[in-house]
Amino acid sequence: MEIIRGEHNIRPRHRQCVATIGNFDGVHRGHQAVLRALMAQAQSLGAASTVVVFEPQPAEYFTGGHPPARLTRLREKAALLAGLGIEQLLIMPFGANLASRPAESFVQKLLIDGLCVRGLIVGDDFKFGSHRRGDFDLLKRSALEHGFFIRRADSFLTAGERVSSTSIRALLRDGLLRDVVPMLGRRYSMSGRVVYGQQRGREMGFPTANLDLHRRESPLSGIFAAKVRGLGEVSSPAIAYVGNRPILESSKWVLEVHLFDFSADLYGRHIDVEFVEKIRDDLPFTDFEALARQIALDCAAARRLLNIDA
């Protein structure tokens, strides 16, 4: 998959494509339905399938310091899109300029002058342009004028419920990981590069791989039975902590993973942490001895949930 950073980097080889536009946060099954339709139309026309996303996501720009928690950061989203077979990803920097661009100008500059789209597929709730005044009817008029096809994908339902990033965030917040699987089509996971931490886990007898989440907020928090991918052909059982470590009085969200029966050096490795089952919420501790005792209990619980021997 080729990544295009900004419309100023669109080249002739990127044009005459079939495109879709959105946040695609989580790349859930509703998104996947849109993407399958996109790739089918692109293949039938011999054109490149192109996904247009915004960075930061518009809600993050408009809400400032308290945005909705991301399901996927940009690198995770790109990896998921590439895995599905998308050929081009256009990342549009979202700021004051793009936020104030009228919908008609957005269509002209990006879709007509920039990508020269042969077709466009959008979700059923897609809105765009300044004050979200652009809608499907405006796109239909533009399609007739400029000679590209336009299609609106229907909502994707599972168990009678519309699949959305908002509903997945709510389930993750409540620790309902099993209910998320049919919406995502997979277990929820986070990925990142292992960085140096404060070695507190090692001092307590539970060495951890520390990942910087690159998120201002996390969609889930607490202690989880987990599986780690990226260290070999099979996943490794683990226990994971997501939070801001209240005992250290930190405000930064972290993901810490203790792998069972594993001793290799992980610094610098890029790993993917798959959350299997929630064990408990984050708890306040007054000293590290009490925390170490609780971690031992949590590890025993995680081993049971993962069906591995103590």
The per-residue pLDDT of the chain, averaged, comes to 92
Asked if 150 and 10 sit in the same domain, the reply is yes
Residue type, 175: G
Whether 244 shows a pLDDT value over 90: the answer reads no
Share of the chain above pLDDT 90, in %: 72
| Per-residue pLDDT at 181 | 97
220, 172 contact by CB (below 8 A): yes
Q: What is the pLDDT of residues 112-153, one digit of tens each?
A: 999 999 999 998 888 899 888 899 999 999 999 999 999 999
Q: Region 40-63: what's the mean pLDDT?
A: 95
pLDDT tens, 275-309?
999 999 988 877 888 888 999 999 999 999 999 87
Residues 153 and 226 reside in one and the same domain = no
Q: Is the pLDDT of residue 250 over 80?
A: no
Number of domains making up the chain: 2
Is 28 in the same domain as 131?
A: yes
Mean pLDDT, rounded, for 221-229? 97
Region 67-86 average pLDDT: 95
The better pLDDT of the pair 259, 250 is held by 259
Q: Is residue 180 part of a domain?
A: no
Residue at which a domain ends, from 161, 195, 222: 161
Phi and psi at residue 208, in whole multiples of 5°? -125, 150
User: Distance (Å, rounded) from C-alpha 26 to C-alpha 30?
Assistant: 10
201 and 156 share one domain: no
- Tell whether 285 is covered by a domain: yes
Q: Which domain holds residue 65?
A: 2-161
pLDDT attached to residue 64? 74
Q: What CATH number does residue 100 fall under?
A: 3.40.50.620
How does strand 18-21 pair with strand 119-122?
parallel
Strands of the 119-122 sheet, one edge to the other: 2-5, 88-93, 49-55, 18-21, 119-122, 149-152
Q: Quick one: average pLDDT of 186-207? A: 80
Whether the CB-CB separation of 174 and 220 falls below 8 Å is answered with: no
In a domain, 148, yes or no: yes
Give the pLDDT band of residue 248 (cuts 50, 70, 90): low
Q: What is the pTM of this model?
A: 0.92
pLDDT of res. 155: 87
Q: For residues 172 and 167, what is the distance between their CA atoms, to the nearest angstrom? A: 9
CATH of the domain at 269: 2.40.30.30
**Do residues 108 and 153 both lie within one domain?**
yes
* pLDDT band at 253; cut points 50, 70, 90: confident
State whether 157 and 196 are in the same domain: no
**275 touches 240 (CB < 8 A):** yes
Report pLDDT digits (tens) over 22-37: 999 999 999 999 999 9
Q: Report yes or no on 247 lying in a domain.
A: yes
- Pair of tokens at residue 279: 């064990």
Please tell me whether residues 43 and 152 are part of one structural domain. Answer: yes
The H-or-E segment that residue 54 falls in is: strand 49-55
pLDDT in tens, 3-19: 999 999 999 999 999 99
Same domain, 15 and 132: yes
For residue 295, being part of any structural domain is answered with yes
In a domain, 166, yes or no: no
